[in-house]
Amino acid sequence: KAGVTQTPRYLIKTRGQQVTLSCSPISGHRSVSWYQQTPGQGLQFLFEYFSETQRNKGNFPGRFSGRQFSNSRSEMNVSTLELGDSALYLCASSLGRQTSYEQYFGPGTRLTVT
Amino acid sequence: AQKVTQAQTEISVVEKEDVTLDCVYETRDTTYYLFWYKQPPSGELVFLIRRNSFDEQNEISGRYSWNFQKSTSSFNFTITASQVVDSAVYFCALSGNSGGSNYKLTFGKGTLLTVNP
């Protein structure tokens, strides 16, 4: 089975711009979760989508949003980028809800905001 | 609120030494899950183990073993006869039903393990 794929792998944006990241889960997985990883804050949960519905959300401002399509693929969007948004964004998929099932992670998208 | 503490920020050992990574958690939930993930230098997190709160049995998988103790709220991870390929950041994570009907997953800050030849 193909693993979780994320595109793009690297991205450089300037402050104020917006960005959209994409995640394709493992076939058959219905849950997609997003995480932000930074050296200072570690791994922080952004949100989880299950069956096209956002089921849970972390403590991030409304500039961070996402969606899930009927084929379980997911996108996350960050508007009005700030320098502090520079991070590795990880997507993970699981058969069921993220907190009861093991997750399989993608390689991440490294976002740099200048 | 739930919390996961990995007090060891970095550990360095010599190959073939045994090493234990500590994980202490806090939760008010009676039903919860604990996980360990490994993040090698390549960056992709890899699932290692899941344990639910009702199963305190220790688990061994090859050179890896896990010790779950509810009495001390700990879920420690031991690597026996460490190898250079074990070098990675290891994360402990906790999920529970805090503050509502949805489960939340919380990661610890991670422990960077370096195994030297």
Q: Which of B35, B96, B104 sits opposite A45 (nearest CB)?
A: B104
Average pLDDT on B56-84 reads: 93
Q: Is A31 on the interface with B (CB under 8 A)?
A: no
Confidence of residue A1 (pLDDT cuts 50, 70, 90): low
Contact B105 A55 (CB under 8 A): no
Give the model's pLDDT for residue B29. Answer: 85
Q: Exposed e or buried b for every residue in B21-40, given b needs 16+ CB within 10 A?
A: bbbbbebeeeebbbbbbbbe
Of B47, B40, B33, whose CA–CA distance to A26 is shortest?
B47
3-state SS of B10-37?
Answer: EEEEECCCCEEECCEEECCCCCEEEEEE
How many Å apart are CA B76 and CA B66, to the nearest integer? 6
The mean predicted confidence, pLDDT, of chain B is 91
- pLDDT tens for A48-97 read 999 999 988 888 999 999 999 999 999 999 999 999 999 999 999 988 87
Give the model's pLDDT for residue B58. Answer: 85
**For the purposes of burial, counting CB atoms within 10 Å of the CB of A83, is it exposed (0-12), middle (13-18) or buried (19 or more)?**
exposed
Confirm if A58 and A45 have CB atoms less than 8 A apart.
Answer: yes
- pLDDT tens for B10-42 read 999 999 999 999 999 998 888 888 999 999 988
How many Å apart are CA A23 and CA A6, to the nearest integer? 5
Give the model's pLDDT for residue B13. Answer: 97
Residue of A nearest to B93 (CA): A99
**pLDDT at A38 exceeding the cut of 70:** yes
Q: Is B102 on the interface with A (CB under 8 A)?
A: yes
Q: Is B106 on the interface with A (CB under 8 A)?
A: yes
Give the model's pLDDT for residue B106. Answer: 87
State how far residue A104 is from chain B, nearest Cα, in angstroms: 7
The percent of residues above 90 in pLDDT, for chain B, comes to: 70
